[in-house]
Amino acid sequence: DTGVSQDPRHKITKRGQNVTFRCDPISEHNRLYWYRQTLGQGPEFLTYFQNEAQLEKSRLLSDRFSAERPKGSFSTLEIQRTEQGDSAMYLCASSLALWEQETQYFGPGTRLLVL
């Protein structure tokens, strides 16, 4: 069990560019989550997958954001036409949801800075 990994750890981009982040969950975890954390705040839920199905998206997730988990393993989060307000830490978490008492384990995060 190597834990949840995220790549890259840091990303600096210019406004209007597209960026893509990757998350590799703990193996055999069937649920994968994306959260966003801005300075001085707690993480906020963005979206989650059960296996390859995206089951819920927060209203925080504008049309410029898209997430995929094509084979039910790793996931990608893409932000198109980045804006300065997208600057944040993007956290990925995974869990093994066999029943409702699940525990989410977080990765180290990807810190995005949009100039």
**Euclidean distance between CA atoms 55 and 17, whole angstroms:** 27
Take residue 62 and report the two structure tokens written for it.
């504008």
- Of 43 and 86, CB closest to another protein: 43
Distance between CA atoms of 112 and 56, rounded to whole angstroms? 23
Considering CB under 8 A, how many residues would be counted as binding another protein?
A: 29
Rule CB under 8 A: say whether 43 interacts with another protein.
yes
Give, in order, the Cα–Cα distances in Å from 22 to each of 28, 100, 101: 17, 26, 26
Q: Say if CB 75 and CB 23 are below 8 A apart.
A: yes
Tell me which of 79, 91, 112, 114 binds another protein, using CB under 8 A: 91
- 35 or 86: CB nearest another protein: 35
Tokens for 112?
């995005």
Q: Which of 7, 16, 42, 85 binds another protein (CB under 8 A)?
A: 42
113 binds another protein (CB under 8 A): no
Q: What is the contact surface with another protein in residues (CB under 8 A)?
A: 4, 6, 31, 33, 35, 40-45, 48, 55-56, 91, 93, 95, 97, 100-109, 111
